[in-house]
Amino acid sequence: MSTLPSMRGWAPQAVFGAATLAAGLSLLAPAQRAEACGGLFCNQNTGVVNQTAEQIIFSDNQDGTVTAVVQILYNGPADSFSWVLPVPGVPDVEVSSNQAFARLQAATNPNYQLNRIIEGECNDNGFGRGGAGNPAPQADNDGAEEGANNDPGVTVVGAGSVGPYDYEVIAVDPELEDLAEVAVQWLSDNGYDVTAIGPDVLRPYLEDGLNLIAFRLNKSSEAGAIRPVVLTYTTDHPMIPIRPTAVAVNDNMGIMTFVLGQDRAIPGNYRHLEINEAVLNWFNPNSNYAQTINVAADESGGQGFVTEFAGASSAFAETIFGTFEAENWDRIQGQDWAGREGQLLAEIASSYSGWDGLAESLDGNIVLPENVTLAEFAACIFCFDLVNQSDLEGFEAGTFLAAIEQNLIEPMRATQALLDSQPYLSRMFTTMSAREMTLDPSFLFNTSLPDVNNVHVADQTIECSPEFSQFDAPWRVELAQGVVVRGQGQVWPFDTEGELPANREIRQMGEEGAGDVIADNTMVINQAIERSNANFPSPTPSTGGGEVDACACAQAPARPARLPLGLLSLALVAFGAFITRRR
């Protein structure tokens, strides 16, 4: 991944930061009508694009540049897709893979582990009933010539093709009376529908000296197959220009940022949120984690981030593209596939089915079965007899392997290298609605804050007595935040609609120290828990305590007195849909 040439003369640093995402996060806006696509400028003639999710990886490259990897997921016809973003200068443009985001997200997802301890003796020893806190099923959860100019005042200063995209970077003459009107006219004349966002949204960014980069698909692609874009540009620190997103966005849009740097990243001008773990349903955190984050963000005025993980990036050295995959690719490349083209096709399908770039690599390198599209073939190569043929018509192994290297392997390898390039990784998450998008969030680094583990552990003690089964018995849960929650049976006593605040604490962080406390809800939370606990008095323990549920014991023979109920992973797979608040 190349580095953007120096643009240190660019002045309005405070406005942009990681602002290559200006319309980029506008892309998060699910359009309600063809005329209102927000920052995702859709073609009014071919339908509405429904933007469903976005994640971003930022890297402070320690050389005056920032790299932003932006994931875009959408539902809708591929020919509806176009994308316009404000950028400083002419950024370096690459593509990554959705697999990279999926792997990094899975490796850093919050996990809530409840260990069970049996105290006393219940009347059925738990047989035939589900033990309290048993985990519920997991929720899935080359380019145009630079300088080309079709309109007075607009200059194409960069262009190219990368992955499935063609793109152009335009600069607008700063001497014009209204830069935004001229830019919008040029974009419209060149096939980019900017009706919804209009000149008023673009004007502040253009007046601050930014250019615009416009993307479109260079070939047909299935809905949802849009690849993450990688932009490297000169700036002081990462920033998300969120304001254009308010043009058309559903409530509680999710924003997940991974920030790489020398130290732990913090929301510089947004609040730092410490969620109240008592409000989470520890029996099934997937059931209300997203809602908890929604409420926590609302309690900060819609401008706060929860830090879900912070620690050494070295822990993820094998996450995106590991040693095994590198060795497997070397093995495939090192073989002579002459006369064994069908076997090569089967090998690639076995190793890389579903990876971004497979269809592009097949395009032009294989004669498709009759009445089968490229996307259909790439999605199920083994469904067709070509893998059983020794010699494929029009198939050249060397050309195909070079395409696989370019389209599949290198984007994953480069994203892993980006992850490895800085010693520290921070993951932050929030949700926002249009009315809250009045301030562009920026991210700084704090030299003194501790790591944040994404694994959270609590102990649940089942208070057995002869009048209760384990399924119905009272229990107490000791949380790491220093409180004890009491309850009975299978019901967690709190939720996000109750009296407990979703934040235990809200702080304004700085580049050193623990920050300033904006709101401390510790006393309110503790008092509410005490009132709730009074409804679940501890029973008189039976004799012979300390026995363990035999079923649970079989799950963890190494710890007969402390029984893990399983790792309840908050798998945010369908990220955009998952964070939508149910009002």
Report percent pLDDT > 90 for the chain: 49
The SS3 call for residue 506 is: strand
pLDDT at 385: 80
Mean pLDDT of all residues in 274-297? 93
Domains in the chain: how many in total? Answer: 1
In a domain, 224, yes or no: no
More confidently predicted of 189 and 50: 189
Q: Residue 246: its pLDDT value, please? A: 66
Q: Say whether pLDDT at 574 is over 80.
A: no
Which SS3 state, helix, strand or coil, does residue 328 take? helix
pLDDT over 50 (residue 58) = yes
Averaged pLDDT, 118-145: 50
Mean pLDDT of 60-69: 95
In a domain, 252, yes or no: no
170 contacts 211 by C-beta, under 8 angstroms:
yes
| Share of residues in the chain with pLDDT > 70 (%) | 75
Give residue 150's pLDDT: 52
Q: Is residue 272 part of a domain?
A: no
pLDDT tier, 512 (very low <50, low <70, confident <90, very high otherwise): very high
pLDDT in tens, 475-508: 999 999 999 999 999 899 998 887 899 999 999 9
Q: Is the pLDDT of residue 577 over 80?
A: no
Please state the pTM of the whole predicted model: 0.79
Q: Is the pLDDT of residue 39 over 70?
A: no
Q: Is residue 330 part of a domain?
A: yes
The chain-wide mean pLDDT, for the chain, equals 78
Domain housing 352: 323-419
Q: Given this model, what pLDDT does residue 52 score?
A: 41
CA distance 468 to 481: 29
Helix (H) or strand (E) holding 66: strand 65-70
The answer on pLDDT for 387 being more than 60 is yes
Mean pLDDT of 61-81: 79
Confidence band for 541, pLDDT divided at 50, 70 and 90: low
Contact 206, 180 (CB under 8 A): yes
Do the beta carbons of residue 215 and residue 82 sit within 8 Å?
A: yes
- Residue 242 counted as domain residue: no
**Does 418 score more than 50 pLDDT?**
yes
| Average pLDDT, integer, range 300-329 | 96
Residue 548 lies in a domain: no
> What band does 80 get if pLDDT is binned at 50, 70 and 90?
low
Task: Say whether pLDDT at 139 is over 70.
Answer: no
Instruction: Please compute the mean of the pLDDT values over residues 122-130 and round it to a whole number.
Output: 53
Model pLDDT, residue 580: 37
Residue of higher predicted confidence among 359 and 509:
509
Cα-flanking dihedrals φ and ψ of residue 443, to 5°? -125, 125
Mean pLDDT, range 119-128, rounded to an integer? 67
Residue 172, in any domain of the structure: no
Angle between helices 98-108 and 410-420 (to 10 degrees): 40
Q: Which of 465, 482, 486 is nearest to 534 (CA)?
A: 486
Strand 424-432's sheet: what is its strand order? 92-95, 229-234, 65-70, 55-60, 253-261, 424-432, 304-312, 271-275, 503-508, 516-520
What's the confidence (pLDDT) of residue 437?
86
Q: What is the pLDDT of residue 136?
A: 37
Question: For residue 534, is pLDDT > 50?
Answer: yes
What pLDDT score was predicted for residue 379? 84
How much is the pLDDT for 380? 87
Q: Give residue 93's pLDDT.
A: 95
Average pLDDT over residues 380-396: 80
pLDDT of 44 above 80: no
pLDDT at residue 287, as a whole number: 86
Whether 353 maps to a domain, the answer reads yes
Nearest alpha-carbon partner for 407 in 445, 464, 453, 363 = 363
For residue 293, pLDDT beyond 80: yes
**Whole-Å CA distances, 86 to 129, 445, 449:** 58, 24, 33
321 pLDDT band, cuts 50/70/90, is very high
